[in-house]
Amino acid sequence: MKKDVKKAMPLYLVTDRRWLRESLIQAVEKAIQGGVTCVQLREKHLDQKHFVESARQLLSLCHQHHIPLIINDDVDVMITVQADGVHVGQNDMDAKKVREMIGPDKILGVSVRTVEQALKAQQDGADYLGVGSIFVTHTKDDAKKVEIQTLKDICQAVDIPVIAIGGIGQDNLLQLKGTGIDGVAVVSAIMAQDDVFNAAQDLKWKVKEDIL
């Protein structure tokens, strides 16, 4: 799925168990059916064994629907289950080292907040960038805001896909129009909704019509 990185970016779901009203696999399946194009499994409070179990389940589900599964932060889990890729932040393992570990055929995403970080990540082998937090978010306690102008500057500076993340929902999506992004990453805008399928479907159409 490496060749389809840009195709996978429009509606990028990041999981968060705190919002679930059903099992993770059930919620993610509904989100995919609603139009999610990529799934990132983020588990900050799960032991390695259960992280791997969840990753295997989601990998099978994602591949049934022909979309990639990205593992947040944990390169070992990604390698163990042979997920499609891994996403790392500025305080995680260096992107260049991650690329050496996972090889050329896996997807590498990197979180950035500045043009300088974006250019370095691209040089180090990133396939896409996540930029944020664009808006106030309640799903990541340490997230600092990135100005929309900075998002535009990053999009113009790099040749790889860029997605915006952080507090994005239907009420503020239009503010991202014209920034040059290739998609949006969302957590609570899908995971915290009563109807996960419809939330994903509505976002998919809004992103397609208003952003891309």
Tell me, yes or no, if 177 is annotated catalytic: no
State which H helix or E strand residue 58 sits in: helix 48-64
Tell me, yes or no, if 42 is annotated catalytic: yes
Tell me, yes or no, if 133 is annotated catalytic: no
Q: What is the DSSP string of 140-207?
A: -TT-----HHHHHHHHHH-SS-EEEESS--TTTGGGGTTS--SEEEESHHHHTSS-HHHHHHHHHHHH
State which H helix or E strand residue 14 sits in: strand 11-14
- Report d(CA 151, CA 129) in Å as an integer: 11
State which H helix or E strand residue 48 sits in: helix 48-64
Q: Residue-wise over 133-143: b if at least 16 C-beta within 10 A, else e?
A: bbbebebbeeb
Catalytic residue among 54, 99, 106, 111: 111
Other C-beta atoms within 10 Å of 98: how many? 24
Catalytic residue among 30, 42, 106, 113: 42
3-state SS, residue 135: coil
Query: Among all residues, which ones are annotated catalytic?
Result: 42, 111, 140
